[in-house]
Amino acid sequence: MAGYVGCWLYSKQLDSSSALSFLTAKIRRGVRHSQHLTFIVWCPHLGPLQIIPFRKAHVESGAGGTMRVMPTGDFEVEAGEDITFTVLRKIPPCKASFDCQGWQRCNPDNSTNATTRIKVCAPTSNSGAQSSCTITVDFRNDTSGTFNPNDSYSITISASKGGSFTDTFTPPPVLNGQTYTFTVE
């Protein structure tokens, strides 16, 4: 369609806000435990033949939980609930790092074993307050930057009052990560 600025989701043409609404509705409705959701959105106005993965997410028991994924990809949480960040590396050692800002409190990160790091934070009690946590993963095996292409990191974000979300990273690049933003409802 000439002059159309929008996106394609599967084989259905949608404008950008309709695509986000559709994806958000799928996530909000909740899915059965361990069901994987993968959405590929293609937006021609963002570049020639560019395919954009919306989120490759494993959403556990979205129904009944208080933590929700918003259309922007940010999270909405309740005041007073603990948010646990668990990073699991397939091939040890786990070299993940956390940079968490704007939280009421964050415990020091904890290495439970050679493949796992955990950090627990609590948002402030102010409605509308935002906090973030940037989690960086490192696939480098040595100073020259070699890596195992079969390696992966899995980041699970879970809320003490319910709801969890998992992101997975594979190399390349050898340094990767994501900033996760949380807003208190």
Output the pLDDT for position 65.
54
Reported CATH class of domain 64-184: mainly beta
Low-confidence ranges of the chain (pLDDT < 70): 1-65
Instruction: Break the chain into its structural domains and give their ranges.
Output: 1-56, 64-184
In terms of Cα–Cα distance, which of 61, 113, 67, 110 is closest to 92? Answer: 113
Output the pLDDT for position 97.
96
In terms of Cα–Cα distance, which of 171, 167, 168 is closest to 73? Answer: 167
